[in-house]
Amino acid sequence: DKALQRFAELMIEKIKHAGIVSQNISIFCSAARLATVPRASMDINQLKKVLKLKESQVPMMNHPIGYLK
């Protein structure tokens, strides 16, 4: 089905963008001597509420950031 194929293509594109953003966050943190790790585990509903995201906006990853030990 063409609609399903198009949906899959869009999701793959969004995942690629999330990966690029994640890599940029990691690179910045490294340059700024901060620690971070990309994570896909999170309370999505709570995060959407706190960030006041629209129903169409779905968090895919997060990066906790802290100081190096």
Map tokens 């779905």 to a residue.
58
Query: With contact defined as beta carbons under 8 Å apart, do 38 and 22 qualify?
Result: yes
User: Taking the complete model, does pTM exceed 0.75, yes or no?
Assistant: yes
For residue range 15-60, list pLDDT tens digits in order.
Answer: 999 999 999 999 999 999 999 999 999 999 999 999 999 999 989 9
Alpha helices for 1-69 (secondary structure H): 2-31, 44-50
